[in-house]
Amino acid sequence: MLMSIWAPFAAWCSVAVALLHVYVIVQGPWAYRFFGAGEQLATMAEQGSWVPTLLTSGITIVFFAFAAYYFAAASWIPRLPFFKWALIGIAAVYTLRGAMVIPALLVGMKISPFDLWSSLTSLAIGLIHCLAAWQALRRAL
């Protein structure tokens, strides 16, 4: 069935996002700037501070946890605690992060190309997670 692809697809999207954060850590200051982490974190990375690495590592772990929940939704791993609420919350986080660009565009705010493509990417990933959560929760009822 075609819809059975949504949960693993959502999980792999979260893995990709997590690996992107690992890439930023490894690449250092220029990657913090390029991927929109801000000048302060990039400068701290240039100065050898561990704060950017620790912060980005924490974010990476969160995205790997997101992936685990959707791998569980795909029945690739056992069901995790707070399964239903986590699926809904994760889908909401991605979707709302991506949708934040829409009001800005509607009121004519100037948006950088990075902010636009990262928001649209997050919105797309969020919608994939919404489909996967809907499918998994329908099966769970």
31 to 24, 26, 44: CA distances (angstroms): 5, 9, 13
The span from the CA of 52 to the CA of 49, in Å, is: 7
Count up the domains in the chain and report the number: 1
Give the structural domain span for 44. 2-140
pLDDT of amino acid 2: 45
pLDDT of amino acid 100: 92
Low pLDDT (below 50) residues in the chain = 1-2
pLDDT of amino acid 113: 85
pLDDT of amino acid 138: 87
CA dihedral 93, 102, 55, 90 (to 10 degrees): 10
pLDDT tens-digit series, residues 41-78? 999 999 999 999 999 999 999 999 999 999 999 999 99
